[in-house]
Amino acid sequence: MRANFYPQLTLGDHLRKVDAAGPLNWDEIPAEVERLTVIAVINQNGVHGRSTSREYKREDREREWWCEVRADRGADFAPGPATCAGTLFVTRPHGLEPWPWPGDPELVEA
């Protein structure tokens, strides 16, 4: 299984959000997985944010996932390195274990 963060993620909304995204490689995801979402968590200098992507379907064969991660409690992210964690969460069929992965992308201003 393979999903990941791109090496650079774009900051927006006056540093309050990150456009989290990365490749979605269906060839490495078990064939029984029909649909999934990606949960993305970003941590940087005590600022945290978490979001879930929309649902992706194997039949559509999309090659990229995306979601908008907003900083908690009105905090701001900053340009520079961030610690990220992602998880592929299977929405169909139910009962399969999620696949986590780490990341360390650079946050950059648009």
pLDDT digits (tens, 9 = 90+) for 8-64: 999 999 999 999 999 998 988 889 999 999 999 999 999 999 999 999 999 998 999
CATH of the domain at 66: 2.60.40.1940
Give bridge partners of residue 65 from the DSSP assignment: 22
How far apart, in whole angstroms, are the C-alpha atoms of residue 17 and residue 71?
6
How far apart, in whole angstroms, are the C-alpha atoms of residue 89 and residue 37?
5
pTM of the predicted structure, to 2 decimals = 0.91
Domains of the chain: total: 1
In terms of residue numbers, what domain contains 12?
A: 2-109
